[in-house]
């Protein structure tokens, strides 16, 4: 828990400086076209800054810089122990600039500054530290060919990585891509979402302060259709790592096929089920975590537990507990440490979420919430919302809403629960609550999800792979497995 008061945060916010230019070749530069876009605080509607809007020309410059840096070998061929030192320094700088980075996140996309200061920024620092510490402990292989041949199988960095990331955890999503890609020796061109460019720009500046050579990490703010597309289609980008919507993920596959067949790794949408069985001994804990699983970060979480599947005999008790928790999670000023939920990322997204809420009101029973509200007369906020008696075929049970909207669905037995849980185009995460060890294993084995959390929700750590099945994407962020995305295996065969 950060120790700063509401007044402290307001004071710090009034003094904050926004980096509003692109970061290319180690310098802040305007877009070649001179174009900018407005970055707006969704909690107040105020424009924070006009930010460089990168186009094809800027992407070319950033990719050339990244390529030059890669070919120079200053980073790509540096000893892993050196890369470790620099990335450890970066982790430390993130910690030293915690308040500033937390504020950038909160002002830019509406999340609670308290969460950014206790979860997002420390999480990013921990991930840089984890890859820094790992990279000089990853050994290569010698193939068992026998005498007369020595066959080395080594991992090499790929070259230039394009990273296109969303606005829900701006610094964390940038880190999930950059930390392993940089640790492995690549250069990166990072495009943050237009709603949330500031922490990525500050990250690049801090990375240079930590000792990353110029050109190894470039940040190109801009619109998806221009800057994002230009990266996706660039002939000199070797790999494109993306987190965002399934629809845009599919576009990146097309860009790749129509350009240089660059590797594409996608972490996309989700509609994660949370299964609560009647033999769960602690329904209060299940209710606490179910509420956290859908209301944390305003529900703007790809793995949000947006479908609550509850065994019929405990369903009403569970809904009652959730209503109490929703009442205690009303939106408030994101800079106030006492607030429980922040603003939606922008007015357009709030309107999208409200379209789902209105659809839900027609097909299910609204038990709490269901309204868009303002805080201090401003901003785009949505009440924590729960629908009961949802049918698995309802739109609110099928589409990713990306807001604080929970659909409760009753089931009678294990088979039915598994069948409803798996009846989705997505397969990112799932949770289940039971006191039976056998049931936990039986069901975890059959759920189509990249992560199954038992008696908790949305468990993750730098040590464990994160990513999806089906249309939630492929490839894994976090853990040593993510190094597979940013390296290629090279076989060197020596006869002697
Ligand atoms: P998008 O998928 O549109 O955005 C993610 C990233 O892709 C952003 O950097 C965006 O840039 C970029 N992008 C957008 N369009 C293109 C394009 N045509 N070519 C290349 N890059 C592009 O997500 P949204 O922000 O629009 O959110 C929409 C929905 O996506 C949400 O409601 C949610 O369902 C899902 N989503 C999932 C996330 C996850 O963590 N899995 C995160 C965010 C959203 P720009 O923002 O500048 O347009």
Q: What is the pLDDT of residue 141?
A: 97
List of residues 6+ apart from 254 with CB closer than 8 A: none
Cβ–Cβ < 8 Å for 265, 242: yes
Q: For the residues 89-98, what does the mean pLDDT come to?
A: 98
Question: Which residues have C-beta atoms less than 6 Å from ligand 1?
Answer: 164-168, 191, 193-194, 223-225, 228-229, 232, 243-245, 248, 251, 267-269, 302, 400, 402
Distance 493 CA to ligand 1 centre (A): 44
Cβ–Cβ < 8 Å for 99, 4: yes
Mutate to test the pocket of ligand 1, among 220, 230, 245, 355 (most ligand atoms within 8 A of CB): 245
List of residues 6+ apart from 481 with CB closer than 8 A: 465
- Name the region of 450 (left: φ>0; alpha: ψ -120 to 50; beta: rest): alpha
Q: Is a pLDDT exceeding 90 seen at residue 2?
A: no
φ, ψ dihedrals at 367, nearest 5°: -105, -20
- Write down the residue that tokens 């998806």 correspond to: 224
Q: For the residues 107-114, what does the mean pLDDT come to?
A: 98
* Pairing status of strand 273-276 against strand 429-433: parallel
Q: Is a pLDDT exceeding 90 seen at residue 483?
A: yes
Q: Which CATH number fits domain 273-454: 3.40.309.10, 3.40.630.30, 3.20.20.70, 3.40.50.2300?
A: 3.40.309.10
Residue nearest to atom 26 of ligand 1 (CA): 245
Residue nearest to atom 10 of ligand 1 (CA): 224
Q: What is the DSSP string of 103-154?
A: HHHHHHH---HHHIIIIIHHHHHHHHHHHHHHHTT---EE----TTEEEEEE
Q: What is the pLDDT of residue 123?
A: 98
Distance 238 CA to ligand 1 centre (A): 21
Q: Is a pLDDT exceeding 60 seen at residue 375?
A: yes
pLDDT band, very low/low/confident/very high, at 3 (cuts 50, 70, 90): confident
Distance 294 CA to ligand 1 centre (A): 20
Atom of ligand 1 at shortest distance to CA of 221?
47
- The tens digit of pLDDT for each residue in 325-374 reads 999 999 999 999 999 999 999 999 999 999 999 999 999 999 999 999 99
Q: For the residues 68-73, what does the mean pLDDT come to?
A: 98
8-state DSSP, 248:
H
Atom of ligand 1 at shortest distance to CA of 222?
47
8-state DSSP, 297:
G
Domain ranges of the chain: 6-268+472-492, 273-454
pLDDT band, very low/low/confident/very high, at 432 (cuts 50, 70, 90): very high
Q: What is the pLDDT of residue 457?
A: 98
User: What are the angstrom distances between the C-alpha of 369 and each of 273, 358, 385, 405?
Assistant: 21, 12, 4, 9
Euclidean distance between CA atoms 385 and 368, whole angstroms: 5
Chain centroid to Cα 175, Å, comes to 9
pLDDT band, very low/low/confident/very high, at 396 (cuts 50, 70, 90): very high
Residue nearest to atom 18 of ligand 1 (CA): 225
**How crowded is residue 143: how many other Cβ atoms within 10 Å of its Cβ?**
12
Euclidean distance between CA atoms 233 and 255, whole angstroms: 5
What torsion, rounded to 10 degrees, do the Cα atoms 1, 208, 239, 192 define? 50
Distance 355 CA to ligand 1 centre (A): 18
6-268+472-492 belongs to CATH 3.30.70.380: no
Strand partners, 22: 29
Q: For the residues 228-245, what does the mean pLDDT come to?
A: 98
Residue nearest to atom 46 of ligand 1 (CA): 193
- The tens digit of pLDDT for each residue in 24-38 reads 999 999 999 999 999
Beta strands in 415-459 (DSSP E): 426-427, 429-433, 451-454
Atom of ligand 1 at shortest distance to CA of 403?
32
- Name the region of 131 (left: φ>0; alpha: ψ -120 to 50; beta: rest): alpha
Cβ–Cβ < 8 Å for 322, 306: no
Residue nearest to atom 48 of ligand 1 (CA): 224
Burial of 148 (0-12, 13-18, 19+ CB in 10 A): exposed
- The tens digit of pLDDT for each residue in 166-205 reads 999 999 999 999 999 999 999 999 999 999 999 999 999 9
Euclidean distance between CA atoms 127 and 117, whole angstroms: 15
Atom of ligand 1 at shortest distance to CA of 191?
9
Atom of ligand 1 at shortest distance to CA of 349?
32
- The tens digit of pLDDT for each residue in 278-322 reads 999 999 999 999 999 999 999 999 999 999 999 999 999 999 999
List of residues 6+ apart from 137 with CB closer than 8 A: none
Rounded to two decimals, what is the model's pTM?
A: 0.97
Distance 276 CA to ligand 1 centre (A): 31
411 membership: H or E segment, kind and range: strand 405-411
Q: How far apart are the first and last CA of the chain?
A: 61
Residue nearest to atom 38 of ligand 1 (CA): 244
* Rg of the chain taking only CA atoms, in angstroms: 23
Distance 245 CA to ligand 1 centre (A): 5
List of residues 6+ apart from 250 with CB closer than 8 A: none
Cβ–Cβ < 8 Å for 279, 434: yes
Burial of 258 (0-12, 13-18, 19+ CB in 10 A): exposed
Residue nearest to atom 27 of ligand 1 (CA): 245
Q: What is the pLDDT of residue 286?
A: 98
Nearest to 387 by CA among 341, 351, 353, 431: 353
Q: For the residues 386-400, what does the mean pLDDT come to?
A: 98
Mutate to test the pocket of ligand 1, among 191, 244, 357, 476 (most ligand atoms within 8 A of CB): 244
Q: What is the pLDDT of residue 309?
A: 98
Euclidean distance between CA atoms 158 and 161, whole angstroms: 8
Mean pLDDT over the full length of the chain: 98
CA angle 53/59/64 to nearest 5° reads 145
Query: Any catalytic annotation for residue 445?
Result: no
Distance 402 CA to ligand 1 centre (A): 12
Query: To the nearest whole percent, how much of the chain has pLDDT over 90?
Result: 99
Euclidean distance between CA atoms 58 and 21, whole angstroms: 11
Cβ–Cβ < 8 Å for 208, 239: no
Distance 167 CA to ligand 1 centre (A): 8
Strand partners, 427: 469
One of 100, 105, 267, 400 is an active-site residue; which one? Answer: 267
8-state DSSP, 407:
E
Q: Is 276 helix (H, G, I), strand (E, B) or coil?
A: strand
Residue nearest to atom 43 of ligand 1 (CA): 244
Structure tokens at 12: 């710090």
CA angle 372/307/352 to nearest 5° reads 30
Atom of ligand 1 at shortest distance to CA of 167?
43
């Amino acid at each position: 828990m950060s120790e700063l008061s509401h007044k402290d945060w307001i004071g710090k916010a009034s003094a904050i400086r926004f980096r509003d230019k692109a970061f290319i070749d180690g310098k802040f530069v305007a877009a070649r076209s001179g174009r900018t876009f407005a970055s707006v605080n969704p909690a107040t509607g105020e424009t924070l800054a006009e930010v460089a809007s990168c186009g094809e020309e800027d992407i070319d410059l950033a990719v050339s810089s990244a390529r030059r840096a890669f070919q120079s070998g200053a980073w790509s061929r540096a000893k892993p122990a050196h890369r470790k030192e620099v990335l450890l320094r970066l982790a430390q700088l993130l910690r030293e600039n915690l308040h500033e980075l937390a504020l950038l996140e909160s002002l830019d996309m509406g999340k609670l500054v308290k969460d950014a200061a206790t979860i997002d920024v420390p999480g990013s620092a921990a991930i840089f530290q984890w890859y820094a510490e790992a990279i000089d402990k990853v050994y290569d292989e010698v193939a068992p060919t026998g005498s007369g041949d020595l066959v080395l199988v080594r991992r090499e960095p790929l070259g230039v990585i394009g990273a296109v990331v969303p606005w829900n955890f701006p610094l964390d999503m940038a880190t999930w891509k950059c930390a392993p890609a940089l640790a492995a020796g690549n250069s990166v061109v990072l495009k943050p979402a237009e709603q949330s460019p500031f922490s990525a720009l500050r990250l690049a500046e801090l990375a240079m302060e930590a000792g990353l050579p110029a050109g190894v990490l470039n940040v190109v703010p801009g619109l998806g259709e221009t800057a994002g597309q230009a990266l996706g289609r660039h002939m000199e980008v070797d790999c494109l790592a993306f987190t965002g919507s399934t629809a845009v993920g599919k576009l990146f596959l097309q860009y790749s096929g129509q350009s240089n067949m660059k590797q594409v790794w996608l972490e996309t949408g989700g509609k994660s089920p949370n299964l609560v069985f009647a033999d769960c001994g602690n329904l209060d804990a299940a209710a606490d975590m179910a509420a956290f699983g859908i209301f944390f970060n305003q529900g703007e979480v790809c793995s949000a537990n947006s479908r609550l599947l509850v065994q019929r005999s405990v369903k009403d008790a569970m809904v009652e507990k959730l209503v109490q928790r929703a009442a205690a999670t009303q939106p408030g000023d994101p800079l106030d440490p006492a607030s429980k939920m922040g603003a939606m990322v922008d007015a357009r997204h709030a309107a999208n979420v409200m379209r789902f809420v209105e659809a839900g009101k027609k097909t299910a029973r609204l038990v709490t919430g269901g309204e868009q509200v303002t805080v201090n007369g401003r901003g785009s906020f949505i009440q924590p919302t729960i629908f009961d008696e949802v049918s698995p075929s309802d739109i609110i049970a099928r589409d990713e809403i990306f807001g604080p909207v929970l659909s409760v669905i009753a089931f009678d037995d294990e088979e039915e629960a598994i069948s409803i849980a798996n009846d989705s185009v997505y397969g990112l995460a799932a949770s289940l609550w039971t006191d039976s060890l056998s049931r936990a294993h039986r069901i975890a084995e059959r759920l189509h999800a990249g992560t199954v959390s038992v008696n908790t929700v949305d468990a993750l750590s730098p040590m464990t792979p994160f990513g999806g099945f089906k249309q939630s994407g492929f490839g894994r962020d976090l853990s040593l497995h993510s190094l597979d995305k940013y390296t290629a295996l090279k076989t060197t065969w020596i006869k002697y």
